[in-house]
A and B are shown apart, each in its own frame.
Chain A
Amino acid sequence: MLTIDAEAYRSPWRTVHPAVKGVLFGGLLVCALALPAWPGAALAGAVALAFGLGPARVPPRKLLRTGLGPLAFIATGAAALLVSVGGPDGPIAWDPQGAARAAELTGRASAAVVCQLLFAFTTPLADLLPRLSRAGLPPALVEVVALIYRMLFVALDTARRVGAAQAGRLGYANRRNRVRSLGALGAALFVRSYDRAARLQRGLECRGYTGALTVLVDDIPLRASALAAAAVPAVLVAAAALTLGAWT
Protein backbone atom coordinates (compact mmCIF):
# COMPACT_ATOMS: atom_id res chain seq x y z
CA MET A 1 0.00 0.00 0.00
CA LEU A 2 1.03 3.58 -0.49
CA THR A 3 1.74 5.26 2.83
CA ILE A 4 0.41 8.73 1.99
CA ASP A 5 -2.78 7.29 0.50
CA ALA A 6 -3.49 4.98 3.44
CA GLU A 7 -2.86 7.78 5.95
CA ALA A 8 -5.13 10.19 4.08
CA TYR A 9 -8.13 7.91 4.61
CA ARG A 10 -7.30 7.66 8.29
CA SER A 11 -6.85 11.39 8.74
CA PRO A 12 -9.11 13.13 11.26
CA TRP A 13 -9.25 15.97 8.71
CA ARG A 14 -10.73 13.73 6.07
CA THR A 15 -14.17 15.21 6.66
CA VAL A 16 -12.90 18.74 6.04
CA HIS A 17 -13.73 20.00 2.55
CA PRO A 18 -10.73 19.62 0.22
CA ALA A 19 -11.00 23.28 -0.75
CA VAL A 20 -10.51 24.34 2.88
CA LYS A 21 -7.36 22.23 3.19
CA GLY A 22 -6.27 23.52 -0.19
CA VAL A 23 -6.59 27.12 0.98
CA LEU A 24 -4.79 26.43 4.27
CA PHE A 25 -1.78 24.53 2.91
CA GLY A 26 -1.85 26.25 -0.49
CA GLY A 27 -1.78 29.64 1.21
CA LEU A 28 1.20 28.66 3.32
CA LEU A 29 2.85 27.22 0.20
CA VAL A 30 2.46 30.58 -1.54
CA CYS A 31 3.98 32.25 1.52
CA ALA A 32 6.96 29.89 1.36
CA LEU A 33 7.53 30.71 -2.29
CA ALA A 34 6.74 34.41 -2.42
CA LEU A 35 7.96 35.86 0.88
CA PRO A 36 11.62 36.39 1.70
CA ALA A 37 12.93 32.95 2.62
CA TRP A 38 13.95 34.16 6.07
CA PRO A 39 11.78 34.39 7.98
CA GLY A 40 8.86 33.86 5.55
CA ALA A 41 9.49 30.28 4.38
CA ALA A 42 10.62 29.19 7.84
CA LEU A 43 7.46 30.60 9.41
CA ALA A 44 5.23 29.08 6.73
CA GLY A 45 6.84 25.67 7.13
CA ALA A 46 6.63 25.82 10.91
CA VAL A 47 2.97 26.86 10.90
CA ALA A 48 2.10 24.13 8.36
CA LEU A 49 3.89 21.57 10.54
CA ALA A 50 2.07 22.82 13.62
CA PHE A 51 -1.28 22.23 11.90
CA GLY A 52 -0.19 18.95 10.36
CA LEU A 53 1.32 17.34 13.42
CA GLY A 54 -1.16 19.00 15.79
CA PRO A 55 -4.86 18.90 14.94
CA ALA A 56 -4.41 16.90 11.69
CA ARG A 57 -2.35 14.28 13.62
CA VAL A 58 -0.12 13.31 10.68
CA PRO A 59 2.35 10.70 11.97
CA PRO A 60 5.75 12.48 12.04
CA ARG A 61 7.84 9.42 11.14
CA LYS A 62 5.80 8.65 8.04
CA LEU A 63 5.89 12.30 7.05
CA LEU A 64 9.68 12.26 7.35
CA ARG A 65 10.08 8.98 5.49
CA THR A 66 8.00 10.11 2.51
CA GLY A 67 9.74 13.50 2.55
CA LEU A 68 13.21 11.99 2.22
CA GLY A 69 12.96 11.60 -1.58
CA PRO A 70 12.21 15.25 -2.41
CA LEU A 71 14.61 16.42 0.32
CA ALA A 72 17.40 14.40 -1.31
CA PHE A 73 16.64 16.10 -4.62
CA ILE A 74 16.64 19.50 -2.94
CA ALA A 75 19.98 18.80 -1.23
CA THR A 76 21.62 17.58 -4.44
CA GLY A 77 20.26 20.47 -6.47
CA ALA A 78 21.21 23.08 -3.86
CA ALA A 79 24.71 21.61 -3.58
CA ALA A 80 25.26 22.62 -7.19
CA LEU A 81 24.86 26.25 -6.15
CA LEU A 82 27.85 26.06 -3.82
CA VAL A 83 30.30 26.09 -6.68
CA SER A 84 30.74 28.30 -9.68
CA VAL A 85 32.16 27.21 -13.01
CA GLY A 86 34.19 28.94 -15.67
CA GLY A 87 34.97 32.01 -13.55
CA PRO A 88 38.30 33.81 -13.16
CA ASP A 89 39.26 31.48 -10.25
CA GLY A 90 39.54 28.42 -12.48
CA PRO A 91 37.08 25.95 -13.96
CA ILE A 92 35.53 25.11 -10.60
CA ALA A 93 35.57 27.41 -7.62
CA TRP A 94 33.59 28.04 -4.45
CA ASP A 95 30.93 30.60 -5.08
CA PRO A 96 31.14 33.16 -2.21
CA GLN A 97 27.40 33.79 -2.39
CA GLY A 98 26.71 30.09 -2.99
CA ALA A 99 26.15 29.03 0.59
CA ALA A 100 23.56 31.75 1.17
CA ARG A 101 21.71 30.93 -2.06
CA ALA A 102 21.78 27.20 -1.33
CA ALA A 103 20.47 27.75 2.19
CA GLU A 104 17.69 30.00 0.93
CA LEU A 105 16.67 27.52 -1.74
CA THR A 106 16.78 24.60 0.67
CA GLY A 107 14.65 26.42 3.23
CA ARG A 108 12.10 27.61 0.69
CA ALA A 109 11.72 24.28 -1.09
CA SER A 110 11.64 22.22 2.13
CA ALA A 111 8.85 24.39 3.52
CA ALA A 112 6.97 24.03 0.23
CA VAL A 113 7.41 20.23 0.27
CA VAL A 114 6.03 20.12 3.80
CA CYS A 115 2.91 22.06 2.73
CA GLN A 116 2.35 19.78 -0.27
CA LEU A 117 2.88 16.61 1.78
CA LEU A 118 0.48 17.71 4.50
CA PHE A 119 -2.24 18.42 1.96
CA ALA A 120 -1.68 14.95 0.47
CA PHE A 121 -1.59 13.32 3.92
CA THR A 122 -5.00 14.76 4.85
CA THR A 123 -6.88 14.59 1.53
CA PRO A 124 -7.80 11.19 0.05
CA LEU A 125 -7.94 11.21 -3.73
CA ALA A 126 -11.32 9.46 -3.68
CA ASP A 127 -12.71 12.62 -2.05
CA LEU A 128 -10.77 14.99 -4.27
CA LEU A 129 -11.06 13.55 -7.80
CA PRO A 130 -14.86 13.57 -8.28
CA ARG A 131 -14.88 17.24 -7.32
CA LEU A 132 -12.54 18.13 -10.17
CA SER A 133 -15.42 18.16 -12.63
CA ARG A 134 -17.03 20.94 -10.58
CA ALA A 135 -13.77 22.82 -11.00
CA GLY A 136 -14.42 22.86 -14.75
CA LEU A 137 -12.48 19.85 -16.03
CA PRO A 138 -14.24 17.75 -18.69
CA PRO A 139 -16.24 14.95 -17.02
CA ALA A 140 -14.78 12.33 -19.37
CA LEU A 141 -11.28 13.28 -18.23
CA VAL A 142 -12.26 13.22 -14.57
CA GLU A 143 -13.75 9.75 -15.03
CA VAL A 144 -10.60 8.48 -16.72
CA VAL A 145 -8.46 9.93 -13.92
CA ALA A 146 -10.68 8.28 -11.29
CA LEU A 147 -10.45 4.98 -13.17
CA ILE A 148 -6.67 5.25 -13.29
CA TYR A 149 -6.66 5.84 -9.53
CA ARG A 150 -8.78 2.72 -8.88
CA MET A 151 -6.92 0.53 -11.38
CA LEU A 152 -3.44 1.52 -10.30
CA PHE A 153 -3.91 -0.27 -6.99
CA VAL A 154 -4.96 -3.44 -8.76
CA ALA A 155 -1.92 -3.09 -11.04
CA LEU A 156 0.41 -2.31 -8.11
CA ASP A 157 -0.81 -5.42 -6.36
CA THR A 158 -0.13 -7.49 -9.47
CA ALA A 159 3.34 -5.98 -9.83
CA ARG A 160 4.18 -6.76 -6.20
CA ARG A 161 3.07 -10.36 -6.45
CA VAL A 162 4.73 -11.02 -9.79
CA GLY A 163 7.91 -9.39 -8.46
CA ALA A 164 7.84 -11.57 -5.34
CA ALA A 165 7.33 -14.69 -7.46
CA GLN A 166 10.25 -13.74 -9.68
CA ALA A 167 12.46 -13.09 -6.68
CA GLY A 168 11.53 -16.54 -5.38
CA ARG A 169 13.02 -18.04 -8.52
CA LEU A 170 16.15 -15.90 -8.18
CA GLY A 171 14.98 -13.37 -10.75
CA TYR A 172 16.76 -10.51 -8.98
CA ALA A 173 19.90 -12.35 -7.88
CA ASN A 174 22.22 -10.40 -10.20
CA ARG A 175 22.05 -7.47 -12.60
CA ARG A 176 21.52 -9.56 -15.71
CA ASN A 177 18.62 -11.42 -14.12
CA ARG A 178 17.19 -8.15 -12.91
CA VAL A 179 16.96 -6.60 -16.36
CA ARG A 180 15.29 -9.74 -17.69
CA SER A 181 12.89 -9.99 -14.75
CA LEU A 182 11.91 -6.33 -14.85
CA GLY A 183 11.25 -6.61 -18.57
CA ALA A 184 9.10 -9.69 -18.04
CA LEU A 185 7.31 -7.91 -15.20
CA GLY A 186 6.59 -4.88 -17.40
CA ALA A 187 5.26 -7.06 -20.21
CA ALA A 188 3.10 -9.11 -17.85
CA LEU A 189 1.77 -5.91 -16.35
CA PHE A 190 0.84 -4.53 -19.75
CA VAL A 191 -0.97 -7.69 -20.82
CA ARG A 192 -2.77 -7.93 -17.50
CA SER A 193 -3.76 -4.26 -17.57
CA TYR A 194 -5.50 -4.74 -20.89
CA ASP A 195 -7.14 -7.93 -19.69
CA ARG A 196 -8.30 -5.98 -16.64
CA ALA A 197 -9.82 -3.29 -18.85
CA ALA A 198 -11.72 -5.87 -20.91
CA ARG A 199 -13.02 -7.60 -17.80
CA LEU A 200 -14.06 -4.37 -16.16
CA GLN A 201 -15.87 -3.41 -19.37
CA ARG A 202 -17.79 -6.69 -19.20
CA GLY A 203 -18.50 -6.28 -15.49
CA LEU A 204 -19.70 -2.71 -15.85
CA GLU A 205 -21.93 -3.54 -18.80
CA CYS A 206 -23.82 -5.85 -16.47
CA ARG A 207 -24.32 -2.88 -14.19
CA GLY A 208 -25.80 -0.83 -17.01
CA TYR A 209 -22.68 0.95 -18.24
CA THR A 210 -23.19 2.65 -21.58
CA GLY A 211 -20.44 5.25 -21.49
CA ALA A 212 -20.82 7.43 -18.41
CA LEU A 213 -19.52 6.59 -14.95
CA THR A 214 -21.58 9.05 -12.97
CA VAL A 215 -21.80 8.47 -9.22
CA LEU A 216 -23.23 10.17 -6.17
CA VAL A 217 -20.66 12.41 -4.57
CA ASP A 218 -21.34 13.13 -0.92
CA ASP A 219 -21.87 16.75 -0.15
CA ILE A 220 -19.35 18.08 2.28
CA PRO A 221 -20.69 21.50 3.25
CA LEU A 222 -18.35 24.25 2.10
CA ARG A 223 -18.87 27.36 4.18
CA ALA A 224 -17.38 30.66 3.15
CA SER A 225 -16.44 31.28 6.77
CA ALA A 226 -14.37 28.07 6.84
CA LEU A 227 -12.59 29.07 3.67
CA ALA A 228 -11.88 32.50 5.11
CA ALA A 229 -10.62 30.99 8.35
CA ALA A 230 -8.33 28.65 6.40
CA ALA A 231 -6.73 31.68 4.76
CA VAL A 232 -5.96 33.34 8.11
CA PRO A 233 -2.72 31.44 8.92
CA ALA A 234 -1.19 32.38 5.57
CA VAL A 235 -2.19 36.03 6.00
CA LEU A 236 -0.74 36.11 9.51
CA VAL A 237 2.49 34.47 8.34
CA ALA A 238 2.77 37.00 5.53
CA ALA A 239 2.13 39.91 7.89
CA ALA A 240 4.59 38.59 10.48
CA ALA A 241 7.28 37.89 7.92
CA LEU A 242 6.96 41.31 6.32
CA THR A 243 7.00 43.13 9.66
CA LEU A 244 9.98 41.11 10.93
CA GLY A 245 11.67 41.65 7.57
CA ALA A 246 11.13 45.42 7.87
CA TRP A 247 12.82 45.47 11.30
CA THR A 248 15.95 43.62 10.22
Chain B
Amino acid sequence: MHIAEGFLPPAQAAAWTAAAAPFVVHGVHSLTRAVRADPEAKLLLGASGAFCFVLSALKIPSVTGSSSHPTGVGLGAVLFRPPVMAALGTVTLLFQALLLAHGGLTTLGANVFSMAVVGPWVGYAAYRSVRALASRLPEQTSLGAGVFAAAFAASLSTYTVTSLQLALAFPDAAGGVAGAFVKFATVFSITQIPLSVVEGLVTVVIVRLLSTV
Protein backbone atom coordinates (compact mmCIF):
# COMPACT_ATOMS: atom_id res chain seq x y z
CA MET B 1 0.00 0.00 0.00
CA HIS B 2 1.96 2.97 -1.30
CA ILE B 3 0.90 6.49 -0.40
CA ALA B 4 0.55 8.31 -3.71
CA GLU B 5 2.43 11.48 -4.63
CA GLY B 6 0.89 14.59 -3.15
CA PHE B 7 -1.42 12.73 -0.77
CA LEU B 8 0.30 13.97 2.40
CA PRO B 9 0.49 17.63 3.45
CA PRO B 10 4.05 18.96 2.89
CA ALA B 11 4.84 19.35 6.60
CA GLN B 12 3.91 15.75 7.34
CA ALA B 13 5.74 14.45 4.29
CA ALA B 14 8.83 16.27 5.55
CA ALA B 15 8.36 14.93 9.08
CA TRP B 16 8.17 11.31 7.87
CA THR B 17 11.23 11.84 5.72
CA ALA B 18 13.07 13.10 8.80
CA ALA B 19 11.85 10.11 10.80
CA ALA B 20 13.02 7.63 8.16
CA ALA B 21 16.33 9.39 7.49
CA PRO B 22 18.44 8.05 10.39
CA PHE B 23 17.51 4.46 9.55
CA VAL B 24 18.28 4.94 5.87
CA VAL B 25 21.56 6.73 6.61
CA HIS B 26 22.52 3.90 8.93
CA GLY B 27 21.58 1.35 6.26
CA VAL B 28 23.57 3.16 3.57
CA HIS B 29 26.48 3.30 5.98
CA SER B 30 26.52 -0.44 6.57
CA LEU B 31 26.08 -0.95 2.83
CA THR B 32 29.06 1.24 1.88
CA ARG B 33 31.12 -0.42 4.60
CA ALA B 34 30.34 -3.84 3.17
CA VAL B 35 31.25 -2.65 -0.33
CA ARG B 36 34.54 -1.20 0.83
CA ALA B 37 35.50 -4.42 2.57
CA ASP B 38 34.72 -6.61 -0.45
CA PRO B 39 34.23 -5.56 -4.09
CA GLU B 40 32.09 -8.64 -4.62
CA ALA B 41 29.54 -7.23 -2.18
CA LYS B 42 28.63 -4.57 -4.71
CA LEU B 43 27.33 -7.11 -7.20
CA LEU B 44 25.58 -9.13 -4.52
CA LEU B 45 23.82 -6.00 -3.30
CA GLY B 46 22.88 -5.13 -6.87
CA ALA B 47 21.38 -8.59 -7.33
CA SER B 48 19.61 -8.40 -3.97
CA GLY B 49 18.11 -5.03 -4.81
CA ALA B 50 16.95 -6.29 -8.20
CA PHE B 51 15.45 -9.32 -6.48
CA CYS B 52 13.58 -7.09 -4.00
CA PHE B 53 12.19 -4.95 -6.81
CA VAL B 54 11.00 -7.87 -8.93
CA LEU B 55 9.52 -9.59 -5.90
CA SER B 56 7.59 -6.43 -5.08
CA ALA B 57 6.31 -6.32 -8.66
CA LEU B 58 4.95 -9.88 -8.55
CA LYS B 59 1.21 -9.96 -8.51
CA ILE B 60 -0.07 -11.74 -5.43
CA PRO B 61 -3.46 -13.32 -5.99
CA SER B 62 -6.15 -12.09 -3.64
CA VAL B 63 -9.90 -11.92 -3.26
CA THR B 64 -10.07 -8.50 -4.87
CA GLY B 65 -7.76 -9.35 -7.75
CA SER B 66 -4.10 -8.52 -7.94
CA SER B 67 -3.02 -5.53 -5.99
CA SER B 68 0.11 -3.55 -5.47
CA HIS B 69 1.59 -4.82 -2.28
CA PRO B 70 4.91 -4.51 -0.47
CA THR B 71 5.69 -8.16 -1.12
CA GLY B 72 8.97 -9.34 0.22
CA VAL B 73 9.45 -6.93 3.11
CA GLY B 74 9.44 -9.77 5.65
CA LEU B 75 11.45 -12.10 3.43
CA GLY B 76 13.98 -9.36 2.78
CA ALA B 77 14.32 -8.67 6.51
CA VAL B 78 15.04 -12.34 7.19
CA LEU B 79 17.42 -12.71 4.24
CA PHE B 80 19.29 -9.41 4.43
CA ARG B 81 18.64 -8.10 8.00
CA PRO B 82 16.71 -4.88 8.68
CA PRO B 83 19.56 -2.34 8.36
CA VAL B 84 20.42 -3.45 4.82
CA MET B 85 16.69 -3.67 4.03
CA ALA B 86 16.36 -0.01 5.01
CA ALA B 87 18.75 0.88 2.19
CA LEU B 88 17.56 -1.69 -0.36
CA GLY B 89 13.92 -0.98 0.47
CA THR B 90 14.47 2.73 -0.11
CA VAL B 91 16.00 2.07 -3.52
CA THR B 92 13.15 -0.31 -4.36
CA LEU B 93 10.58 2.31 -3.38
CA LEU B 94 12.37 4.97 -5.42
CA PHE B 95 12.30 2.69 -8.48
CA GLN B 96 8.68 1.79 -7.86
CA ALA B 97 7.79 5.49 -7.79
CA LEU B 98 9.73 6.35 -10.95
CA LEU B 99 9.19 3.18 -13.00
CA LEU B 100 5.75 1.96 -11.89
CA ALA B 101 4.11 5.08 -10.38
CA HIS B 102 3.64 3.16 -7.13
CA GLY B 103 4.11 5.75 -4.42
CA GLY B 104 5.53 9.23 -4.80
CA LEU B 105 8.70 11.23 -4.36
CA THR B 106 7.46 13.64 -1.68
CA THR B 107 5.79 10.70 0.06
CA LEU B 108 8.92 8.55 -0.30
CA GLY B 109 9.91 9.25 3.32
CA ALA B 110 6.54 8.12 4.65
CA ASN B 111 6.55 4.97 2.50
CA VAL B 112 10.15 4.23 3.47
CA PHE B 113 9.22 4.57 7.13
CA SER B 114 6.41 2.02 6.85
CA MET B 115 7.85 -0.41 4.29
CA ALA B 116 11.62 -0.19 4.69
CA VAL B 117 11.91 0.57 8.42
CA VAL B 118 8.92 -0.54 10.53
CA GLY B 119 7.94 -3.52 8.34
CA PRO B 120 11.41 -5.12 8.27
CA TRP B 121 12.05 -4.54 11.98
CA VAL B 122 8.67 -5.92 13.06
CA GLY B 123 9.03 -8.85 10.65
CA TYR B 124 12.53 -9.58 11.88
CA ALA B 125 11.43 -9.38 15.52
CA ALA B 126 8.53 -11.73 14.80
CA TYR B 127 10.89 -14.14 13.06
CA ARG B 128 13.36 -14.17 15.96
CA SER B 129 10.69 -14.59 18.64
CA VAL B 130 8.85 -17.39 16.82
CA ARG B 131 12.13 -19.16 16.16
CA ALA B 132 13.02 -18.87 19.84
CA LEU B 133 9.59 -20.10 20.93
CA ALA B 134 9.54 -22.94 18.43
CA SER B 135 13.12 -24.01 18.96
CA ARG B 136 12.01 -27.42 20.25
CA LEU B 137 9.97 -28.16 17.13
CA PRO B 138 11.54 -29.82 14.07
CA GLU B 139 13.71 -27.38 12.08
CA GLN B 140 11.41 -27.29 9.02
CA THR B 141 8.34 -26.53 11.13
CA SER B 142 10.11 -23.90 13.19
CA LEU B 143 11.55 -22.27 10.09
CA GLY B 144 8.16 -22.31 8.37
CA ALA B 145 6.42 -20.79 11.36
CA GLY B 146 9.12 -18.15 11.79
CA VAL B 147 9.06 -17.15 8.14
CA PHE B 148 5.27 -17.03 8.01
CA ALA B 149 5.25 -14.85 11.12
CA ALA B 150 7.90 -12.55 9.61
CA ALA B 151 6.05 -12.06 6.33
CA PHE B 152 2.62 -11.72 7.93
CA ALA B 153 3.77 -9.36 10.68
CA ALA B 154 5.85 -7.23 8.30
CA SER B 155 2.96 -6.92 5.90
CA LEU B 156 0.41 -6.16 8.58
CA SER B 157 2.59 -3.65 10.43
CA THR B 158 3.31 -1.84 7.18
CA TYR B 159 -0.39 -1.53 6.56
CA THR B 160 -1.01 -0.36 10.13
CA VAL B 161 1.67 2.33 9.93
CA THR B 162 0.32 3.54 6.59
CA SER B 163 -3.18 3.81 8.05
CA LEU B 164 -1.75 5.73 10.99
CA GLN B 165 0.12 8.07 8.67
CA LEU B 166 -3.08 8.79 6.79
CA ALA B 167 -5.03 9.25 10.04
CA LEU B 168 -2.50 11.78 11.32
CA ALA B 169 -2.77 13.68 8.05
CA PHE B 170 -6.57 13.61 7.91
CA PRO B 171 -8.03 13.37 11.42
CA ASP B 172 -11.74 12.61 11.55
CA ALA B 173 -14.03 15.58 12.20
CA ALA B 174 -15.67 13.81 15.12
CA GLY B 175 -13.45 10.85 16.00
CA GLY B 176 -10.10 12.60 15.66
CA VAL B 177 -6.95 10.69 14.77
CA ALA B 178 -8.25 7.49 16.38
CA GLY B 179 -11.49 7.66 14.41
CA ALA B 180 -9.62 8.36 11.19
CA PHE B 181 -7.31 5.42 11.86
CA VAL B 182 -10.33 3.13 12.18
CA LYS B 183 -11.69 4.48 8.88
CA PHE B 184 -8.49 4.05 6.87
CA ALA B 185 -7.62 0.72 8.44
CA THR B 186 -11.10 -0.56 7.56
CA VAL B 187 -11.08 0.74 3.99
CA PHE B 188 -7.73 -0.90 3.18
CA SER B 189 -8.17 -4.02 5.31
CA ILE B 190 -10.38 -5.63 2.65
CA THR B 191 -7.37 -6.06 0.42
CA GLN B 192 -4.47 -6.00 2.84
CA ILE B 193 -5.31 -8.68 5.40
CA PRO B 194 -5.95 -11.54 2.93
CA LEU B 195 -2.86 -10.41 1.02
CA SER B 196 -0.77 -10.66 4.17
CA VAL B 197 -1.90 -14.24 4.70
CA VAL B 198 -1.19 -15.22 1.10
CA GLU B 199 2.16 -13.47 1.25
CA GLY B 200 3.01 -15.41 4.39
CA LEU B 201 2.22 -18.69 2.64
CA VAL B 202 4.18 -17.78 -0.49
CA THR B 203 7.16 -16.76 1.64
CA VAL B 204 7.10 -20.10 3.43
CA VAL B 205 7.24 -21.88 0.05
CA ILE B 206 10.17 -19.70 -1.03
CA VAL B 207 12.21 -20.32 2.11
CA ARG B 208 11.41 -24.04 2.13
CA LEU B 209 12.71 -24.35 -1.41
CA LEU B 210 15.77 -22.23 -0.66
CA SER B 211 16.63 -24.32 2.37
CA THR B 212 16.65 -27.51 0.27
CA VAL B 213 19.00 -26.18 -2.41
Contact = CB atoms under 8 A, between A and B. Distances in A.
Contact of A191 (B45, B179, B202, B213): B213
Contacts of B106: 29, 33, 112
Contact of A116 (B5, B91, B173): B5
B204 interface: yes
Contacts of B68: 69
Contacts of B174: 84-88, 93, 95
A59 B60 CA distance: 29
B209 A2 contact: no
Nearest to B178: A86
B137 interface: no
Interface string A46-90: 000000000000000000001101110110110111011111100
A77 B179 contact: no
A198 B182 CA distance: 48
The prevalent SS among residues of A at the interface is helix
Given A84-B173, A105-B170, A179-B198, A193 B50 contact: yes
B206 A190 contact: yes
A116 B104 contact: yes
Interface size class of B (residues with CB under 8 A): 35 or more
B54 A156 contact: yes
Nearest to A212: B39
A85 B179 contact: yes
Interface stretch (A135-143, A225-233, A236-244): A135-143
A86 B175 contact: yes
A178 B24 CA distance: 34
Nearest to A159: B54
A167 interface: no
A19 interface: no
B145 to A, nearest CB: 16
Question: DSSP class of B's interface residues: helix, strand, loop or mixed?
Answer: helix
A189 B5 contact: no
A185 B99 CA distance: 22
Interface in A88-147: 88, 93, 95, 97-98, 101, 105, 108-113, 115-117, 120, 125, 138, 140-141, 143-145, 147
A33 B175 CA distance: 26
A112 B6 CA distance: 5
Nearest to A182: B202
Interface stretch (B29-37, B128-136, B153-161): B29-37
Contacts of A178: 61
Interface string B172-213: 111100111011100110000000001001111111111001
B57 A156 contact: yes
A78 to B, nearest CB: 9
B98 A147 contact: no
B210 A191 contact: yes
A211 interface: yes
Given A69-B101, A88-B174, A152-B54, A140 B35 contact: yes
Contacts of B53: 148, 152, 155
B97 interface: yes
B43 A201 contact: yes
Interface in B1-57: 1-7, 9-10, 28, 31-32, 35-36, 39-40, 42-51, 53-55, 57
Interface of B: 1-7, 9-10, 28, 31-32, 35-36, 39-40, 42-51, 53-55, 57-58, 60-61, 68, 72, 75, 79, 87, 91, 95, 97-106, 166, 170, 172-175, 178-180, 182-184, 187-188, 198, 201-210, 213
Given A70-B101, A211-B39, 19 more contacts: A70-B104, A76-B188, A77-B166, A80-B183, A85-B179, A86-B179, A87-B173, A109-B5, A115-B5, A117-B101, A120-B101, A138-B28, A148-B46, A152-B95, A155-B47, A182-B58, A183-B208, A186-B202, A189-B54
